[in-house]
């Protein structure tokens, strides 16, 4: 019988932590055996720790209800129980930097949903279809810090997946993109619970999300970057201008994208064929969470739509549509993904699957 890898979730009582448990409840490779959260939840059974604030549509999986929640800051409690930690802790940035590094120091593979380490030069910011080769920096990360087994990888901002994989597909096919304007329409769930007050969203759009535009303009360059001299050097050739808006949609981040190519540009039908035929290492390895196809192109004029398309490919696929010529740049299109699955817990789980498949987690 196949032996599952034992994993833990820190920050398990929050919305992202709950999503981890929902997605991992029947995972073929991973078995959740350790849960941790804030000191207020420590010592309680999980079902009691989330009483009145379980926000998933399905019930709490039975296998997790009686697990006693530990204090996420007490790293020693996890030692000997698991080898992989999914981090969704909600702390200030410095505390996250410290606690995630301590888990890695203690020998854990840490896959984080947080932004704290995204600017750390030797920590990969992972979209597995794009930059699987960035995992090659892990031995250098370990050597620099004196870690024997543990390491850190993180997922990117939850809004960029809807266009990053479509962009990469074109770049992989030989069409370099140097300029992009993106306007995101981001779902309420991206703000966590309870999110913005209803009175702020009804009959309204909020044209500001703290930090989102900066992350949207910076993180793609690191993801498209290269490993050089023990650090990940960003691709400074890509320039992005971002507008990020909060809209009254439950789940599903939409991006309106205008792109310009650096040199030769493909015809529209070639772009669609590139997207529809795109495959990368997660698909080739048949990782459990990898969507096949990774990109779905819709021909209808009114697609993609969050209600109709966010759950495509078990909520891991990217749906694109409305490709057309642009009067200012070369082309424009709409991209959509499920922000709390592909953009959060699901994207981290896919990264962990890739780490296991490539032998980084034993």
* Residue whose entry in the numeric block shows the structure tokens 């932590």: 17
82, 117, 244, 253: the active-site residue: 253
Residues 4-20 as b or e (16 or more Cβ within 10 Å = b): ebebbbbbbbbbbbbbb
Using DSSP's 3-state secondary structure scheme, residue 37 falls into strand
Q: How far is CA 335 from CA 32, 100, 257, in A?
A: 33, 32, 8
CA dist 10 and 87 (Å) reads: 5
Using DSSP's 3-state secondary structure scheme, residue 297 falls into strand
Q: How many CB atoms neighbour CB 332 within 10 A?
A: 17
What backbone torsions phi and psi does residue 122 show, to the nearest 5 degrees? -115, 20
CA dist 318 and 94 (Å) reads: 33
Using DSSP's 3-state secondary structure scheme, residue 124 falls into coil
Q: In the annotation, is 158 catalytic? A: yes
Using DSSP's 3-state secondary structure scheme, residue 258 falls into strand
Q: In the annotation, is 253 catalytic? A: yes
117, 134, 158, 338: the active-site residue: 158
Distance between the two ends of the chain, CA-based, in angstroms?
Answer: 17
Q: Just list the catalytic residues.
A: 158, 253
């Amino acid at each position: 019988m196949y032996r599952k890898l034992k994993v833990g979730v820190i920050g398990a009582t929050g919305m992202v932590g709950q999503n981890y448990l929902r997605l991992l409840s029947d995972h073929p490779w991973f078995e959740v055996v350790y849960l941790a959260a804030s000191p207020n939840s420590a010592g309680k059974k999980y079902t009691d720790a989330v009483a009145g604030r379980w926000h998933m549509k399905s019930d709490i999986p039975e296998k997790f209800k009686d697990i006693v929640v530990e204090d996420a800051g007490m790293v020693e409690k996890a030692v000997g129980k698991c080898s992989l930690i999914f981090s969704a802790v909600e702390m200030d940035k410095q505390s996250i930097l410290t606690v995630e590094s301590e888990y890695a120091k203690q020998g854990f593979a840490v896959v984080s949903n947080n932004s704290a380490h995204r600017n750390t030069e030797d920590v990969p910011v992972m979209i597995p279809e794009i930059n699987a080769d960035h995992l090659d920096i892990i031995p250098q990360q370990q050597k620099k810090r004196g870690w024997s087994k543990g390491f850190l990888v993180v997922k990117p901002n939850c809004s960029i997946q809807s266009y990053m994989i479509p962009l990469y597909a074109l770049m992989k096919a030989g069409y370099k993109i140097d300029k992009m304007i993106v306007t995101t329409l981001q779902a309420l769930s991206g703000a966590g619970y309870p999110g913005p007050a209803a009175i702020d969203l009804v009959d309204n759009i909020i044209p500001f999300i703290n930090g989102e535009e900066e992350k949207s303009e910076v993180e793609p360059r690191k993801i498209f970057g290269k490993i050089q001299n023990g650090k990940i050097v960003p691709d400074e050739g890509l320039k992005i201008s971002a507008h990020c808006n909060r809209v009254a949609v439950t789940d599903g981040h939409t991006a309106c994208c205008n792109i310009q190519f650096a040199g030769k540009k493909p015809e529209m039908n070639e772009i669609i064929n590139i997207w529809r035929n795109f495959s990368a290492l997660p698909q080739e390895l048949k990782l459990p969470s990898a969507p096949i196809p990774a990109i779905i192109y819709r021909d209808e004029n009114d697609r993609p739509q969050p209600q109709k398309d966010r759950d495509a490919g078990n909520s891991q696929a990217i749906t694109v549509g409305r490709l057309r010529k642009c009067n200012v740049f070369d082309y424009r299109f709409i991209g959509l993904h499920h922000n709390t699955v592909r953009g959060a817990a699901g994207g981290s789980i896919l990264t962990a699957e890739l780490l296991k498949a490539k032998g980084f987690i034993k």
